[in-house]
Structure 1
Amino acid sequence: MKKFLGTLMLAFLTASAFAQPTKSPVQGTVTESGSSTPIAGATISLGSRQSVTDENGKFVFTNPALGRYELLVSSLGHKPYRQDIDVKNSNAALSISLTPSSLYLQPLEVRSVRASDKAPFTKTNITKEQIAKNNFGQDVPFLLDQTPSVVVNSDAGNGIGYTGIRIRGSDATRVNVTLNGIPYNDAESMGSYFVDLPDIASSVNSIQIQRGIGTSSNGAGAFGGTINLATNEYNEKAYAESNNSFGSFNTWKNTLKAGSGLIGDHFTVDARLSRINSDGFIDRAKSDLKSFYFSTAYLNKKSSLRLNIFSGKEKTYQAWYGVPENKLQSDRSYNPAGTEKTGAPYDNQTDNYTQTHYQLFFNHSFSSSWSFNTAVFLTRGKGYYEEYKAQQSFTKYGLPASVVVGGTTYTQTDIVRQRWLDNYFYGQILSLQYKNKNDEFTFGGGWTVYDGKHYGTIAWLQYGTVPANHRYYDYPAKKTDVNVYTKWQHRIDANWTSFADLQYRYVKHDMNGFEDNPNLYVSRDFDFINPKAGITYAKNGWQTSISYALGRKEPNRDDFQAGITTQPKAETMHDIEAGVEKRTAAYHFGATVYYMYYINQLVLTGQINDVGSYTRKNIPHSYRLGIELQAAAVVNKWMNVAGNLTLSRNKIASYTEYIDNYDNGGQDEKVHRNTDISFSPPVTAAATLSFIPVRNVELSFISKYVGKEYMDNSQDETRKLNAFFVQNIRASWTFKKLLFSEWNITGMVNNVFNKRYEPNGYTYSYVSGGSVYTDNGYFPMAGTNYVLGVNIRL
């Protein structure tokens, strides 16, 4: 940790010393044609460098290398501006006017759920160019690893297949994810399984991460953060691309993309085909992932109609059991999946799932002030995971208690079973937006219905036969979610902006039994009112803000298995955020202080429910208190640096831990006070140091530090994940007009110094013979590994 902080501080001190305007910058002002109104937040690209305009529409590139570049200026709601620039020793200031485009060209469904630049919420925006730099086939969480307060993990150990993300210590079930404003979280578990949409990053135009509760959104409530992915921005010109990469563990990624651009000023079509294969770092953790994306739109002066159809098909060998602690040092890639089979592990211990999305959007502009959008959608998912189980009783699977084979009576058998999910998730979102010089109103909401079937089938029996169409369990479920919200952003004067947001959300669960509790029928509904408010002050590149948000969230499917007498309560969180930042084209830095106070947070305590299963329990009081620091600077024409640091305190006031006692068949109780919340490191940090030795070549050194964290809430030193500090190196070389329009040769070496680290794990303790024993499992990441890519643009 000391080494990382020293490196980070040295980089920032260097940046502070050198990040000053030079005698010959490329600079200018961006305004709106016709009104000469400055445009703040416009993205300016000069070769491989990027900047944004300040509130006065100004930008500057310090120490630009001599040569010819394309200057590209883009801003939401305006047509892109392009100009060839010959950078000389002396350049006059540029005056750039952007032509407004009709409102229908804006992705209104995204604007309605995202936080604007002046909204008083903690956020990070990631551009298409930033996504492309790191898109080697790893899952979406790994593309977000360098953002503040984020920790990612991977079952297979290399970021392909099943992955996880935590923001400020909150896991994926508390992170709201939308795709073009449409809910993506699984309606029941509330997790987000990006493995079901392989290579979706190749079709994403931008990502916004909001930390904390953030603004009102559609879908599951945000208790740790919000991730919004957008694909609906249009491409003005036709294009075609081929993106291919190869790396360690026999990892391949092949992507073909093409788009028509605007045809006759009305039509546009975009398409993508992708395939990702990897053997994974963990034994047998293979991934076979395929996906496609298709989008077409019709545009006129007042309206747009867009259809998206995209799908992913995944087959992954199970790697979700982790590595037992006793094998972590000697056999870090050990995989216990399939080993119940005698001899070689079962070769089809796999997870198989296909998810297809249908999205239809309609946007309409009534006037320069009023606009409307709506979307209807269907997400169709179906699949199963298959596993080999040894010595299973026949009665557990609804079969006769015994069978006779060759004169021998058997009451148990080896079995191959499949556990199925078969679901439809559909609904509608809509928003009505009003905007004038000082006010911006959004009235929005949506409704969704999840209709899911959970059932199990038998693929093979060692003894006996399986009856036709036999299901050994079959438990349908339905969930309805309705929400409405209104947002009002008001410009008080030239510097002050206020924000208010009020959401009502209604949720209803109907679950007709569970595998561990087939006779438990649950019908629960919840009414939530979630207000948010804040204020922002901006002047001379400085921006400060403070906000308060109240969030309430329903339990997930597993929580309801607690039993009739111990049904879970909804969770509540109060979130207070205060931030300050200074932003110029040459550098920016900022700090956010947050306090997230939970009431009835659901956590694992070890307590057994009515049928002997472990489910989460409500604890009265807990909190997260932290500070997030960020900075970035263009040091000179060949070097830039960026980084972030989060220091936090994450505590549970009091809770009772339950430990299985094998000696008496009961559970021992132990009261804990003021302990750390599980999987909540007190320190996370990231830094990127980039060099541009010659034009169109970039070399980046990327670091990540995550402090010690605990795998349960007891703060027991025997149940922890050690701190880790890892470094990656990324290189990129772009050249043009050689057979094709553009070539981009990329490469990345991950975990350069071959560190052994585990960002995820699990723990289980029990009493036997009067002593307490703890079994830990870990999900280790791969040692030094590489990937090489060749991207061609026609």
Structure 2
Amino acid sequence: MPKTVLLAGAALLGLASAPAWAQGPVSGTITDARTGEALPGATILLDGAAIGTTNPAGAFSLAAVPAGSHELRITFLGYEPLVRAVQGRADAQQLSAQLQPGGVLTGEALVTASRASDRTATVYTNLSKQDLNKRNFGQDLPYLLDQTPSVVVTSDAGGGVGYTDIRIRGTSSTGINTTVNGVPLNDPESHGSFLVNLPDLASSINSIQVQRGVGTSQNGSAAFGASLNISTLDVRREAYGETQNSFGSFNTWKNNVSFGTGLVGKYFTFDGRLSRISSKGYMNRAASDLKSYYFSAGYQNKNTLLKFITFSGREKTYQAWNGVPEPAITGNQALLQTYVDNGELSAADAERVRQEGRRYSYYTYDNQTDNYQQNHYQLHLSQGLGSDWNLGAALHLTRGFGYYESYRERRRFTDYGLQNVIIGGDTLTRTNLIDRKWLDNYFYGGTFALNYQPKASSAFQATLGGGWNRFDNDHYGEVIWAQYASNSFINQRYYFNTARKTDFNAYARATWQVLPWLGVYGDAQVRRIIYKIDGVEDDQADVTTRVNYTFFNPKAGLTASLGHGQQLYASFAVGQREPVRADFTDRQPGYAPAQAERMNDWEGGYRFTRADLSFLGPNTAARVEANGFYMTYRNQLVNTGQLNDVGTALRTNVARSYRRGVELTGFVSANDKISLSSTLTLSHNRIQDYRDITYDADYNPVISAEGRTTTISYSPSAVSAHTLEGQPLKGLRLALLYKTVSRQYLDNSASDNRSIGAYQVLDFRVRYTLHPSFMKEIELALLVNNLLNREYVSNGYTYGYVGASGRQETFNWYFPQATRNFLASVNLRF
């Protein structure tokens, strides 16, 4: 970013003497003023309008800067913004700029405290607002991250709207630490990040850093495979207005309106957004109706920024978390009959499978819906403390509440605390009914980060940070209708339990440039968890739980500069985390009580970044990285392949397991006319001495006699993503996006008949940008997903037992993804 600003500034200053009609290209490179390292993802603004970002090599290119005076601004998370007054001129200009560390006035001291850099010897990917906007047609945030390394995404409804999930290095969202402005987002009990509760959050995101492995110390649940560090703390000094409108297959709509006042009275800024997303879904009866808002109000003075942020989402989704039975995918009628013979499907269900095929929905009740609202409130302070210190602190409150409604057939009265019904001389023990299962919770606390960032010297930097958070959550169920009412009353409550979880953590981190070419990184975190559950679950089982954990998580690394744009790095980190709620409340017969997990993470690699590879052509930039990882586990909690009644994966501890592999990423761009980015992950994911648990005809557990080494469930051995983008005409960008995922196993048996087949998906994207005189920008865009019309599944689950035939039967359920579909958008910026 810095180089870009200076280059652009110098070029534009010289344009004053050019004719009024003159327009010329401006290109350059932005780097860190301390280290000289490139800054990919820095935002370039011309006259207050964001017109692009630096590429992975830190380079940027403006196709044409009109004649006249302009303001060129370059911003990057953790750095002071750079502003230049520029003039347009006819000839091409080469600029370079260096950004100074700081960023106190952006309000992001808390965010930068937990972000990785080239000095922390960790592996990460930075994505800017512009990177996200390229694919932000209304799909959930995981789909916007699909082209980053080691990522696999899936959608219950098949089209990326509604419930979605992301896995990184085979780890699901329960092992991915997610923060928004340094505030934990993961549900403290399940550890999952349910982004369906925050639809269109991507439209308010300023930047995301995806760290893989343990990464740096974070607030909230432990990073056990990756972390998503989200920042919405953008300060836009110019007034703006935007609207994004998309329409596509499955009657998918996205509409939003965003606004900002810019600086008001020199000190105040106000920003807001209203969004609506709806879709019928690819799967039958898998509709989503999603609404959200975002609002922030900030006060900014020389050394102080105080900012209040509130954002909320409300979702209503038809339940699609059951998936479809395997015969709906394969058309195997004999297998379909096996599902019927064993009571997994009724005869009517089987007939619907034949009619609906892979788009079959298990549920037919018209209000089989999930309804949830989540309101977030954050108060952020960034305070400069002299020239070398700054403090970031935040108070936060999240209010969540909602239910899912279900029609239940032939349920026992006694399971709901009701009396049997006597009609004449007959005693009825079962009834059809409708119930609602509720969550009602508060999550609140505070976080802080004290940063030492001397501007005079880059040799030593340090951060002391941490947080205290409390989660209070009520779980309960109500019967709202019954065919035979028994002794029930309106909204009969049939179970109730409450959970309280307190999480405290403190960390200290420092980087020290021992020699001009050698840097040292150290990070240590202490985390304390107190978790209590009181009451009964829906099966009337007492789920009273008392557990406490104290974890110490050290991290260390080395970086070595090999010359211009080249770096070697290596690190070691420890991550530990507690089991999730379902590990306590849904423990299956034959499995031992859940234990805390520990991971030792070894990372090492090579980075090459250059923005001046003239031998490949003018303005050619490249970035290459090769990273190796070896993550060893003690008592890792792995998926058994089964789900509970709300679609949560059931897990069990395994004594020893590991993930090891290599991640290769590359990017090359020629004069902003054509670019290619690729990433490939090859990994070996194994459980050692694993013992299968199967079940007899009475569903009693039978433990296999021999232990063996087997593949960890949901862990593909190869994942790749490739994007080829070109600009054949000014303002017109075409892109092909190709994704491949190898076979994944539904459980830990490594059996092909309990697996998800390998798949490849090709998407096509086109964007055309206009800059008319009456507004800043008009963008017309089209995204064609699954261009080759492949039928594939990306997720599933399995279970088995001795069936009616007297043989061991396996029942697989899958989540099919949409065949060829499209999303088109019209985006206006004022």
* TM > 0.5: yes
**1:524 aligns to 2:547 (yes or no):** yes
Cα drift, residue 770 of structure 1: 4.2
- Give SS of 2:593's match: coil
* Candidates 405, 419, 424, aligned match of 2:442: 424
Tell me the residue number matched to 2:367: 348
- Give SS of 2:706's match: strand
Aligned residues: 753
Which residue identity lines up with residue 713 of structure 1 in the other structure? N
Tell me the residue number matched to 2:80: 78
Tell me the residue number matched to 1:410: 428
Trace 1:478-627 onto structure 2 (pairs within 5 A).
478-513=500-535, 514-516=537-539, 518-538=541-561, 539-561=563-585, 562=587, 566-585=592-611, 586-605=621-640, 615-627=650-662
Aligned pair in 2 of structure 1 residues 607, 239: CA closer, same or farther (>3 Å)? Answer: closer
Tell me the residue number matched to 1:134: 135
Q: Distance in 2 between matches of 1:628 and 1:102?
A: 31
Aligned pair in 2 of structure 1 residues 608, 731: CA closer, same or farther (>3 Å)? Answer: closer
Tell me the residue number matched to 1:19: none
Q: Distance in 1 between matches of 2:127 and 2:786?
A: 23
Tell me the residue number matched to 1:309: 310
**1:743 aligns to 2:778 (yes or no):** yes
Tell me the residue number matched to 2:335: none
Q: Distance in 1 between matches of 2:764 and 2:359?
A: 27
Which residue identity lines up with residue 553 of structure 2 in the other structure? N
Aligned pair in 2 of structure 1 residues 353, 37: CA closer, same or farther (>3 Å)? Answer: closer
Cα drift, residue 496 of structure 1: 1.7
Q: Distance in 2 between matches of 1:385 and 1:137?
A: 24
Trace 1:21-420 onto structure 2 (pairs within 5 A).
40-41=38-39, 43=42, 45=44, 50-51=53-54, 68=66, 72-75=73-76, 76-81=78-83, 91=93, 93-94=94-95, 96=97, 103-330=104-331, 331-338=356-363, 345-404=364-423, 409-420=427-438
- Give SS of 1:326's match: helix
Q: Distance in 2 between matches of 1:746 and 1:415?
A: 47
Contact 1:299 1:305 in 2 (8 A): yes
Q: Distance in 1 between matches of 2:330 and 2:89?
A: 55
Aligned pair in 2 of structure 1 residues 88, 61: CA closer, same or farther (>3 Å)? Answer: farther
- Give SS of 1:161's match: coil
Cα drift, residue 566 of structure 1: 3.9
Cα drift, residue 597 of structure 1: 0.2
Q: Distance in 2 between matches of 1:31 and 1:242?
A: 32
Of 720-729 and 538-547, more deviation after overlay is shown by: 538-547
Of 632-641 and 522-531, more deviation after overlay is shown by: 632-641
Cα drift, residue 516 of structure 1: 3.8
Which residue identity lines up with residue 79 of structure 1 in the other structure? P
Contact 1:386 1:416 in 2 (8 A): yes
Tell me the residue number matched to 1:628: 663
Aligned pair in 2 of structure 1 residues 337, 692: CA closer, same or farther (>3 Å)? Answer: same
Tell me the residue number matched to 1:786: 822
Which residue identity lines up with residue 715 of structure 2 in the other structure? S
Aligned pair in 2 of structure 1 residues 191, 706: CA closer, same or farther (>3 Å)? Answer: same
Q: Distance in 1 between matches of 2:187 and 2:705?
A: 34
Cα drift, residue 234 of structure 1: 0.7
Aligned pair in 2 of structure 1 residues 182, 482: CA closer, same or farther (>3 Å)? Answer: same
Q: Distance in 2 between matches of 1:246 and 1:30?
A: 37
Of 325-334 and 783-792, more deviation after overlay is shown by: 325-334
1:286-313 CA-to-partner distances (Å, cap 9, x unmatched) read 0000000010011112212111111100
Aligned pair in 2 of structure 1 residues 408, 163: CA closer, same or farther (>3 Å)? Answer: same
Which residue identity lines up with residue 350 of structure 1 in the other structure? T
Tell me the residue number matched to 2:466: 445
- Give SS of 2:131's match: helix
Cα drift, residue 119 of structure 1: 1.4
Q: Which runs of 5+ in 1 are unaligned?
A: 1-23, 339-344
Tell me the residue number matched to 1:693: 728
Aligned pair in 2 of structure 1 residues 792, 44: CA closer, same or farther (>3 Å)? Answer: closer
Which residue identity lines up with residue 122 of structure 2 in the other structure? F
Q: Which runs of 5+ in 2 are unaligned?
A: 1-23, 332-355, 612-620
Which residue identity lines up with residue 577 of structure 2 in the other structure? K
Aligned pair in 2 of structure 1 residues 670, 279: CA closer, same or farther (>3 Å)? Answer: farther
**1:456 aligns to 2:477 (yes or no):** yes
- Give SS of 2:143's match: helix
Q: Distance in 2 between matches of 1:394 and 1:764?
A: 27
- Give SS of 2:110's match: helix
Aligned pair in 2 of structure 1 residues 28, 251: CA closer, same or farther (>3 Å)? Answer: closer
Q: Distance in 2 between matches of 1:37 and 1:398?
A: 68
Tell me the residue number matched to 2:694: 659
Q: Distance in 2 between matches of 1:359 and 1:568?
A: 34
Q: Distance in 2 between matches of 1:775 and 1:660?
A: 13
Q: Distance in 1 between matches of 2:662 and 2:74?
A: 33
Q: Distance in 1 between matches of 2:128 and 2:699?
A: 58
Cα drift, residue 459 of structure 1: 1.2
**1:724 aligns to 2:759 (yes or no):** yes
- Give SS of 2:716's match: coil
Cα drift, residue 717 of structure 1: 1.1
1:238-272 CA-to-partner distances (Å, cap 9, x unmatched) read 10001100000000000000001111221000000
Cα drift, residue 363 of structure 1: 1.6
Aligned pair in 2 of structure 1 residues 109, 607: CA closer, same or farther (>3 Å)? Answer: closer
Aligned pair in 2 of structure 1 residues 663, 462: CA closer, same or farther (>3 Å)? Answer: closer
Cα drift, residue 155 of structure 1: 0.2
Cα drift, residue 502 of structure 1: 0.3
Cα drift, residue 508 of structure 1: 1.0
Which residue identity lines up with residue 778 of structure 1 in the other structure? Y
Cα drift, residue 658 of structure 1: 1.1
Aligned pair in 2 of structure 1 residues 664, 616: CA closer, same or farther (>3 Å)? Answer: closer
Cα drift, residue 694 of structure 1: 0.7
Q: Distance in 2 between matches of 1:608 and 1:733?
A: 44
Tell me the residue number matched to 2:809: 773
Tell me the residue number matched to 1:10: none
1:45-74 CA-to-partner distances (Å, cap 9, x unmatched) read 4996643697xxxx6668x86775986533
Contact 1:635 1:641 in 2 (8 A): no
Contact 2:214 2:574 in 1 (8 A): yes
Aligned pair in 2 of structure 1 residues 334, 457: CA closer, same or farther (>3 Å)? Answer: same
- Give SS of 1:692's match: strand
What is the TM-score of this pair, normalised by structure 2?
A: 0.86
Q: CA RMSD in A?
A: 2.7
Contact 2:140 2:195 in 1 (8 A): yes
1:441-499 CA-to-partner distances (Å, cap 9, x unmatched) read 11100011110000000111011253245210001111110000000111223222211
Aligned pair in 2 of structure 1 residues 270, 648: CA closer, same or farther (>3 Å)? Answer: same
Cα drift, residue 674 of structure 1: 1.5
Tell me the residue number matched to 1:681: 716
Cα drift, residue 369 of structure 1: 0.8
Contact 1:270 1:296 in 2 (8 A): yes
Paired-residue identity, %: 42
